[in-house]
């Protein structure tokens, strides 16, 4: 697990619930449990400061910046909220014209659209059935403000045909479902052995669980249930994730409270 990924996973699952600050000494104690050295942890914090994601309150304490908090909240919302809700029957469509000279901007655009659950419909055209207007509009406005030669258009539309045609064209749900089956098989076995874990082991297990489940944010578009195949395994994976995370909490919380300093 990379430092930045681990940092935001721990922050989202624990630190943010105790306030937006932690001492560097405490962070070092926590991240050593995952094999990071003190030097690597300090270097990782420095890189996050350079990216504008972390602020130093003083020489011994750090917190998330405004940009870091926004990034964390967007990810947390998608990890912990109930997935696959009702569909309003509308499609969100993004069309953009970004020249070859701005390839880095195009890559950033594609990456964000995938993160938000959009599927590739046609050249420079992406589509989603989910109400992501707020997050998408914020990203588009920031991109337009910071770049030139960028044309981005956002539509909300109906589709007169069978919506499952769009689903089949834009997303490989079979591949996603296979990944969910692997997750259920792997973590279902962990459920049987929780009582034998020490507090630090429970903490490590819970953070790794959240990390593994977060991977689905990059491959599962979180389609409304009306557009999913019958007996969608993603439901079972979500229930297992929540149940296992909660069951690990008592021991995991015990470890965190023993090392946390605000």
Please give the full DSSP string across 174-210, using - where no structure is assigned: HHHHHHHHHHHHHHHHHGGGGGG--HHHHHHHHHHHH
Domain that holds residue 40: 3-75
pLDDT at 148: 64
CA-based nearest residue to 86, from 250, 228, 207, 226: 226
* Residues 110 and 66 grouped into a single domain: no
What mean pLDDT is predicted for residues 188-202? Answer: 90
* Residues 58 and 98 grouped into a single domain: no
- What is the phi/psi pair of residue 3, to 5°? -55, -50
- CATH code: domain of residue 150: 3.30.70.240
pLDDT in tens, 57-71: 988 999 999 999 988
* Residues 237 and 209 grouped into a single domain: yes
pLDDT at 91: 97
pLDDT in tens, 204-244: 999 999 999 999 988 999 999 999 999 999 999 999 999 99
What is the percent of the chain with per-residue pLDDT over 70, rounded to a whole number?
98
pLDDT at 63: 96
Decide: 41 and 3 in contact? Cβ < 8 Å.
yes
* Residues 179 and 245 grouped into a single domain: yes
Q: Could you tell me which residue, 193 or 55, shows the higher pLDDT?
A: 55
């Amino acid at each position: 697990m990379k430092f930045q990924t681990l940092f935001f996973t721990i922050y989202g699952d624990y630190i943010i619930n105790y306030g937006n600050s932690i001492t560097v000494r405490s962070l070092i104690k926590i991240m050593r449990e995952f094999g990071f050295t003190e030097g690597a942890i300090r270097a990782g914090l420095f890189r996050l400061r350079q990216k504008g994601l972390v602020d130093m309150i003083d020489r011994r304490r750090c917190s998330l910046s405004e940009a870091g908090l926004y990034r964390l909240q967007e990810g947390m919302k998608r990890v912990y909220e109930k997935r696959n809700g009702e569909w309003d029957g509308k499609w969100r469509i993004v069309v953009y014209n970004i020249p070859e000279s701005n390839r880095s901007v195009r890559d950033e655009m594609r990456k964000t659209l995938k993160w938000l659950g959009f599927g590739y419909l046609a050249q420079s055209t992406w589509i989603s059935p989910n109400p992501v207007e707020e997050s998408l509009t914020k990203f588009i406005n920031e991109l337009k403000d910071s770049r030139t030669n960028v044309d981005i258009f956002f539509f909300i539309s109906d589709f007169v045909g069978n919506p499952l045609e769009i689903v089949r064209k834009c997303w490989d749900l079979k591949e996603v479902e296979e990944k969910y089956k692997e997750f259920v098989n792997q973590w279902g076995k962990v459920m049987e052995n929780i009582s034998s874990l020490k507090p630090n082991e429970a903490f490590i297990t819970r953070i790794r669980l959240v990390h593994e489940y977060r991977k689905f944010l990059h491959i599962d578009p979180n389609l409304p249930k009306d557009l999913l195949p019958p007996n969608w395994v993603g439901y079972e994976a979500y229930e297992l994730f929540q149940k296992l995370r909660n069951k690990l909490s008592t021991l995991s919380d015990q470890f965190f409270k023993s090392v946390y300093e605000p």
